[in-house]
Amino acid sequence: MAERGENLDPVRFRGAGFAPGESRLGGGLALVGLVTLWQAASSLLGVSPLFLPSPAAIVAALWRLIAHGDLLAQIGVSLLRILAGWSLGAVAGLAVGLGMGLFGFARAAGFAVVSALFPIPKIALLPLMILWLGIGEPSKIATIALGVFFPTAISAATGVDSVPRNLIRMAQSFGLPFADIVRKVVLPGALPSILAGFRISSSIALLLVVSAEMVGAEKGVGAFVLQAGNLMQTDQLLAGVVVLSLLGLAVARVIGALEKRFVDWR
């Protein structure tokens, strides 16, 4: 009797691919590779440091600026503006967004206003803000707050929409008061969307603080970068850009940690 399986072909595995996993090594290698290539191009091809300073020159400039204390002061100023503007915009956006998610009239009015105003590049409103609030801090903070308000409101409203209705009905069936349903069911359920909104709004805040500082400020990372550009100090200019990139990464890390802490149940 023939051996079982004799003359049969093995089934070919066809399930590979389309399942990209996480690779910390890949990310690190890509960054190191890019910086190495940049450094090699600067050193070997003789690219003018005025047009493209080498990574080593940028690090040296960064070190000098930090040691001098000037850059840290500029970062501090920018961070304060971001913190104030983002907090104002986020609190207002959350209040309006939750209202839009929970109440019919607020929803109709809110979506009409938000849809009309959201597409406006908020930096275009800075001159108006300066006219209303003066050249000082309030106009910059208000511009950042405006930029943060809209994505926060939209993410909060869509977050409330995404809470499964059966959970709300369950809470109603157990007699939970309205405030308890909002606090214990709606807010936690909307949190993933709200945090996703925070991720976007924090990037917008960073973008706007730099833009606002370039338009009308003496201090701040944006003003520093602009001044370095005007003085052709491209190593310092790019040192400022590196700081902005690190700030963006730090904010993303903070949001990531919040997500891990509060929406780990997904």
* CB of 35 or CB of 176, closer to another protein: 176
Helix (H) or strand (E) holding 211: helix 187-216
Size of the site for another protein (CB under 8 A): 19
Contact code string over 157-186 relative to another protein, x by CB under 8 A? ---------xx-xxxxxxxxx--x---xx-
Q: Least distance (Å) from another protein to the CB of residue 167?
A: 6
> What CA–CA distance (Å, rounded) separates 83 from 88?
8
Judged by CB under 8 A, the chain residues 182 through 211 that form the site for another protein are 184-185, 188-189
Q: How far is the CB of 179 from another protein (least distance, A)?
A: 10
Q: Which is nearer to another protein, 18 or 265 (CB)?
A: 265
CB of 189 to another protein, least distance (A): 8
CB burial of 249-263 (b: ≥16 within 10 Å; e: otherwise) equals eebeeebeeebeeee
Closer of 161 and 180 to another protein (Cβ): 180
Q: Which of 88, 91, 242, 263 binds another protein (CB under 8 A)?
A: 263
Q: In 3D, which of 82, 59, 126 has the Cα closest to residue 220?
A: 82
In one-letter notation, the amino acid at residue 32 is V
Identity at 177, one-letter amino acid code:
P
The residue (of 13 and 265) whose beta carbon lies closer to another protein is 265
* Dist. CA 101–CA 184, nearest whole Å: 15
Query: In the bound complex, what is the minimum distance in angstroms from residue 188's beta carbon to another protein?
Result: 5
CA angle (88 as vertex; 83, 90 as ends), nearest 5: 90
Rounded to an integer, what distance in angstroms lies between the CA atom of residue 51 and that of residue 23?
A: 34
Query: Which parts of this chain interact with another protein (CB under 8 A)?
Result: 166-167, 169-177, 180, 184-185, 188-189, 263, 265-266
